[in-house]
Amino acid sequence: MDRADRTSFVLVVLLVGASIVGLSRLLPHAGAAATAPLEFREFAEPTAVSIVLGGEVEHPGVYTIAMTSTLADIILLAGVDPCTETPVIQVDLFTSSDEATYQRVDINHAEAWLLQSLPGIGADRATAIVAHRTSHGPFACPEEIMLVESIGEKTYEAIASLITAE
């Protein structure tokens, strides 16, 4: 056997050995496909999620954020004190059917951006709430939010458990 033949023989042995080792690695997985078939289900991707922010933050409460929001976005919303060495922030995700415990939004003190975290309260309604509070004084009770133009009974019912008037 000359040198070229020996080199070819060694290469063939190496390839066969590598194939055997590769197959032995795949064999446990080959049986798994037969015993547990994969099911592919399509789920509608939510575009927004409600979260409860609490802990060492300036603005605890319920926020509805886009699914594309980052942790940094959430921390900015909560108003973490930059002087806090290691702030502890509690973030709870929930669906509309979940019972969540959270701090209510005080409609007498909340800024417009915080009011917008309430379901059905966009920028225009939040601005209207602040304007009404500024011109007429604080709300005596949460129900008085219906005195704000564009906030009716249906909107109030959606946010009643989320607000307070202190």
Tell me how crowded residue 82 is: count the other CB atoms within 10 A of its CB. 6
Spell out the per-residue pLDDT of the chain, length 166, in tens: 666 666 666 666 666 665 565 555 555 555 554 555 556 566 566 677 777 777 677 777 777 777 787 777 777 777 776 676 777 776 666 655 554 455 688 999 988 888 888 888 888 999 999 999 999 999 999 999 999 998 999 999 888 888 888 8
Q: What is the Cα–Cα distance from 134 to 164, expressed in whole angstroms?
A: 17
pTM for the whole structure = 0.43
Report yes or no: 45 and 67 within 8 Å, Cβ to Cβ: yes
Q: What is the CATH number of domain 48-164?
A: 1.10.150.280
The residues facing 120 across adjacent strands are none
The residues facing 91 across adjacent strands are 53
